[in-house]
Structure formats: structure tokens, C-alpha cells
Amino acid sequence: MSHVLFPISCNQRGVEPVVGSFAPDTANPPTALNGAGFTVARTSQGLFTVTFDQVFPDFVAFDAHLQHVTAAARYAQVGVYVAASKTLQIRVVDGSGNVQDVAADAASRVNFVAWVRSSSA
């Protein structure tokens, strides 16, 4: 059986995805980045700054999810994109809205997809 990969596309001209994930490691820098076109740094408790390799004129949509080993009520919340610094923040919050670190675990990751406008067209 062969596997066929289909390219991800969008019906809006000049819009393309940036897809990635990383493994939180409590108070340490994130590890195991998957994807391309970005880096990730731990800014403070439960707060991560994604820095893109290039400036995008516009973010059409951005979504992040926490893949977690336990059934704890924790969620990834997306912040504002700042074009001048090419950054976007993702914070991990609990059910009460408190920012929380995520312990290192082989099954714990923050996954995201950004639909960006790659040109001003």
C-alpha cells in the first residue's frame, strides 16, 4: 500500500500554513521542535514565544492545542501576533485561567497551525 501526501492549500490567494509543535519542559526551554520557519522560547511560567523566520503581512487564523499525558484541565491560549518582532505568544492555562507550566513528558506537546498571508496580494 502506498501513501499519498496531499499538499495543504487554501482558497485565498497568498495564504499558506505554518504548522509546528514543541514539547514543554516545566521551567526549561521547550524541546523537540517539529516544523519549520519558527523557533520557540519559554518566556515565563506557562508562556511561550513563537518567533517566525519572516514577517507576515497578516495572520488569517492561528490555533494551538495542548496534547497532554493526563486529563488535567489545561488549554493552550493564543496571544497577539506582533509583526515588528515576528512573534506570537502561546500560554497554557488551567480551567480557572491561571497560567501553568507543563511538565516534561514524551506525550505532552503544544501543537499549532498558523494560516498566514505570505504577501500583501
Model confidence at 4: pLDDT above 60? no
Q: What is the pLDDT of residue 1?
A: 43
List, for residues 21-38, the tens digit of each pLDDT value.
999 999 999 999 999 999
Residue 79 pLDDT more than 50? yes
Banded model confidence at residue 7, pLDDT cuts 50, 70, 90: low
Distance set, CA 106 to CA 28, 36, 38, 103, 110 (Å) = 15, 20, 21, 10, 12
- The mean pLDDT value for 58-66 works out to 90
Does the pTM exceed 0.95? Answer: no
- The answer to whether residue 2 scores a pLDDT higher than 60 is no
Mean of the pLDDT values across residues 37-64? 93
- Residues 101, 119: Cα–Cα separation, whole Å: 36
